[in-house]
């Protein structure tokens, strides 16, 4: 058995293990991740909703980065359009 064969076997094993680990909980983990992201989103836009956030100076920088996900987030939260005045989305 060459080194390449061993490597191939290991990568197959690793694939099996990864799938065995992830497959049953893919949905649950994705939802958990999304909930965490939503909380983060809330922190970033909290000042606009009147919730004081001492770190606004820093989180302001993140707003453009989060913009793409903002649309999905407000849709998911049950709001047809952006809930923030002066911050249009769609």
**Element of type H or E holding 86:** none
Residue from 24, 63, 76, 77 touching other proteins (CB under 8 A): that is 24
Q: Which is nearer to other proteins, 19 or 49 (CB)?
A: 19
13 is an interface residue for other proteins by CB under 8 A: yes
CA distances (Å), 86 to each of 8, 42, 68, 70, in order?
55, 17, 17, 14
90 is an interface residue for other proteins by CB under 8 A: no
Residue from 1, 4, 28, 90 touching other proteins (CB under 8 A): that is 28
DSSP string computed for 5-51: HHHHHHHHHHHHHHHHHHGGGHHHHHHHHHHHHHHHHHHHTTGGGT-
* Count of residues near other proteins by CB under 8 A: 18
**CB of 2: closest distance to other proteins in angstroms?**
20
**CB of 85: closest distance to other proteins in angstroms?**
30
């Amino acid at each position: 058995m060459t080194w390449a064969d061993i490597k191939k076997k290991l990568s197959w094993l690793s694939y099996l293990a990864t799938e065995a680990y992830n497959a049953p909980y893919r949905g649950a983990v994705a939802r958990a991740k999304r909930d965490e992201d939503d909380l983060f989103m809330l922190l970033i836009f909290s000042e606009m909703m009147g919730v004081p956030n001492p770190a606004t100076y820093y989180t302001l920088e993140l707003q453009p980065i989060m913009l793409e996900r903002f649309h999905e987030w407000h849709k998911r939260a049950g709001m047809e359009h952006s809930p923030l005045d002066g911050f249009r989305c769609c």
